[in-house]
């Protein structure tokens, strides 16, 4: 059954019009927890040859069990180390696997002097009675010239744990308008004039035409999109992060 999210629509509209009103309702509360594992001997300040795995994450109370189960699974996926064989594991299990892989590497290459690290944080960007939007960021290093990092989003209905997408919020046919607004925000964030081709600056889109991806979350200001490293540009250009303000899409709200 299709579910409605009127509180989010009201919330977006009031933010776009800058009207003062009662604080938006929330379904659940949360507190931040930290999970940390280190390789044998731990990681002292004077030792680089170690491995650490750390995740800061929210633990919710007051939500239905279906929503809590969905949150647990999505948080684990959002802070995955990138190993597809570990996608179905909890981050507790993934941390143990990360440490074990490092210790196996050291056993094979005992002269290694570089440590490994994985550090992630899952923050609550928006918490209302109809939408829970979380943003997960991570940094990882497992040797090589440089590490890796990324940003991923979790958008759920806190009442039933179902994923919420743009199609749940916006009227059919919104895609061209949202893409146009996204391109404006993207170019503005990079200070790229309309006359500049993306390929001239090192950005790659199919046929050179800007396209939004599916990596987005909801904030108090608007819909936030992130292109992670290597997605549309080489590592040297970093990730690309921009926001489409709610006030610019209010005509497309259902």
Residue 131 has pLDDT above 90, yes or no: yes
Residue 213 has pLDDT above 80, yes or no: yes
Query: Cβ(143)–Cβ(114) under 8 Å?
Result: yes
pLDDT at 177: 97
Query: Mind listing the pLDDT tens digit for each residue in 31-86?
Result: 999 999 998 866 765 556 789 999 999 999 999 999 999 999 899 888 876 655 55
67 versus 23: which is more confidently predicted?
67
Cα dist. 137→21, 94, 123 in Å? 32, 16, 8
> For residue 9, what are its two tokens?
């629509």
Give the mean pLDDT of 192-220.
96
Residue 3 has pLDDT above 60, yes or no: no
Radius of gyration of the chain (CA): 21
Give the mean pLDDT of 223-227.
98
pTM to 2 decimal places: 0.86
């Amino acid at each position: 059954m299709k579910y409605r999210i009127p509180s989010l629509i009201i919330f977006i509209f009031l933010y776009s019009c800058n009207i003062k009103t009662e604080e938006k309702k929330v379904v659940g509360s949360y507190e931040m927890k930290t999970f940390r594992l280190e390789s044998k001997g731990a990681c002292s300040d004077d030792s680089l040859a170690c491995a650490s795995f750390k995740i800061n994450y929210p633990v919710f109370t007051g939500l239905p069990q279906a929503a809590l189960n969905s949150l647990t699974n999505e948080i684990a996926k959002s802070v995955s180390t990138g190993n597809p064989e570990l996608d179905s594991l909890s981050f507790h299990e993934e941390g143990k696997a990360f440490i074990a892989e490092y210790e196996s590497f050291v056993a094979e290459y005992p002269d290694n002097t570089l440590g490994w690290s994985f550090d992630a944080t899952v923050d609550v960007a928006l918490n209302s009675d109809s939408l829970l939007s979380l943003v997960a960021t991570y940094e990882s290093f497992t040797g090589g010239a440089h590490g890796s990092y990324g940003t991923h989003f979790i958008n759920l209905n806190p009442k039933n744990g179902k994923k919420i997408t743009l199609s749940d919020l916006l009227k059919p046919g919104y895609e061209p308008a949202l893409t146009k607004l996204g391109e404006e925000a993207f170019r503005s964030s990079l200070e790229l004039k309309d006359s500049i081709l993306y390929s001239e600056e090192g950005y790659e889109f199919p046929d050179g035409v800007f396209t939004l991806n599916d990596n987005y979350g909801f904030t108090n200001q608007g819909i936030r999109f992130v292109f992670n490293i290597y997605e549309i540009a080489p590592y040297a250009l970093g990730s690309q992060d921009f926001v489409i303000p709610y006030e610019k899409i209010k005509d497309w709200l259902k």
